[in-house]
Structure 1
Amino acid sequence: MTRIVVVDNHGQFTHLEGRALRDLGVDTDIVDNDTPPSKIDADGIVLSGGPDMDRIGRSVDYLDLGVPVLGICLGMQLVAAELGGEVGSGDYGGYADVTVEILDETDPLVGSLAPETRVWASHADEVKAVPEGFVRTADSDVCPTEAMSDTERDLYGVQWHPEVAHTEEGEAVFENFIDICERAD
C-alpha cells in the first residue's frame, strides 16, 4: 500500500490533508515538522501549509529523501525558497475563491484539471519566481504562480488548498500525487 506522510507546518488544514489521503486508500500519518528525516518511511511527502517560514522546522530536509514531494501553500513556498526561487508578499492578501488557469495539460499533478478550476487559496505570501528546474503549471489573475512542478526531481507545489471543500477538484490533485508516488516507487 502506498504510504504518504503529511508534514505538519502548523497549518489550520493539515488534518484535512491526512484525511483526504486516507479517504483515497493511502496509508498516511501526520508528523511534526521537527521529525528527523531518518524517522520518515514513505513513498511520498506532503508539506502542509502553515502560518510562516519561521515555523517550518526540518521541512527542507525532507526534500532530500528521494521521494516525491507535494508542497501546499507554505509548503510550496518553502520548496521555492530553499531551491533558489523567490517568495514574497502577495498583492491580493488573504483567503479567496480563485479561478486558476492550468498552463500545462501534460503536468502529472495539475494537468488533468485543465483548462481551469476553482480553488480556495491564501495569497498573503506567494512564489514570485520558480527555482531552476521548475515550470509554472498554473496561474490566476491574482497570482502568477498558482502551481509549479519539477518532474525530473518529482517536486510539486500548489498555492491553493486541495484538501478543503471550497476547492472544486482537490481530490484529483491528491489522486494525481498518489499516482506520481506509485510510479516513482
Structure 2
Amino acid sequence: MTKIVVVDNHGQFTHLEQRALRDLGVESELIDNDTPPGEIDADGVVLSGGPDMDRIGQSPAYLDGDVPVLGICLGMQLMATELGGTVGSGEYGGYADVTVDIVDDEDPLVGSLAPETRVWASHADEVTGLPDGFVRTATSDVCAIEAMSDPDRELFGVQWHPEVAHTEAGDVVFENFVDVCESQ
C-alpha cells in the first residue's frame, strides 16, 4: 500500500490533508515537523500549511529526499525559499474563494484541472519568484504563482488548500499526487 506522510507545520487544516489521503485508500501518517526525514519510510511527503516560517522545524530537509513532495500554502513557500525562489507579502491577504487558471495542462499535479478551478486560498504570503527548475503551473487575478512544479525532481506546490471543502477539485490534486508517488 502506498504511504504518504503529512509533515505538520501547525496549520489549521493539516488533519484534513491526512484524511483526504486516507479517503483515497492511501496509508497516511501525520508527523511532527521536528521528525528527521531519516526516520520516515514513505512513498511521498506532504508539507502542510502553517502560520509562519519560524515554525517549520525539519521540513526543509524533506526536499532532499528521493520521494515526491507536495507543498501546500506554507509548504509551497518554504519549498520556494529553500530552493532559491522568493516569497513576499500578498497584496490580497487573508483567505478567499479564488478562480485559478491552469497554465500547464500537462502538469502531473494540476494539469487535469485545466482550464480553471475554484479554490480556497490564503494570500497573506505567496511565492513571488520561482526557484531554478520550477515552472508556474497556475495563476489567478490575486496571485501570479498559484502553483509551481519541478516534475524532474518530483517537487510540487500549491498556494491553495486542496484539503478543504471550499476547494472545488481538491481531491483531484491529492489523486494526482498519489499517482506521482505510485509511478516512481
**Would you say same fold, with TM above 0.5?**
yes
- 2:76 — aligned with what? 76
Instruction: For 2:39, give the aligned amino acid.
Output: K
- 1:18 — aligned with what? 18
Unaligned runs of 5+ in 2: none
- 1:89 — aligned with what? 89
- 1:57 — aligned with what? 57
**Counterpart check, 1:170 vs 2:167:** no
SS at match of 2:183: helix
Shift of the alpha carbon at 1:20? 0.3
- 1:122 — aligned with what? 122
- 2:110 — aligned with what? 110
CA distance in 2, matches of 1:38, 1:104: 33
SS at match of 2:179: helix
**Alignment length (residue pairs):** 184
Unaligned runs of 5+ in 1: none
Instruction: For 2:122, give the aligned amino acid.
Output: S
CA distance in 2, matches of 1:157, 1:91: 20
- 1:146 — aligned with what? 146
- Residue-by-residue CA offset, 1:138-179 (whole Å, 9 max, x unaligned): 000000000000000000000000000000000000000000
Instruction: For 1:138, give the aligned amino acid.
Output: A
- Residue-by-residue CA offset, 1:14-36 (whole Å, 9 max, x unaligned): 00000000000000000000001
CA distance in 1, matches of 2:153, 2:183: 13
Please give the residue correspondences for 1:11-50 in structure 2 after superposition, counting only pairs within 5 Å.
11-50=11-50
**Counterpart check, 1:158 vs 2:158:** yes
- Residue-by-residue CA offset, 1:56-89 (whole Å, 9 max, x unaligned): 0000001111100000000000000000000000
CA RMSD of aligned residues (A): 0.3
CA distance in 1, matches of 2:11, 2:131: 24
Shift of the alpha carbon at 1:38? 1.1
CA distance in 2, matches of 1:85, 1:64: 16
SS at match of 2:7: strand
Q: Identity rate of aligned residues, in percent? A: 78
- Residue-by-residue CA offset, 1:95-116 (whole Å, 9 max, x unaligned): 0000000000000000000000
CA distance in 2, matches of 1:65, 1:126: 24
SS at match of 2:117: strand
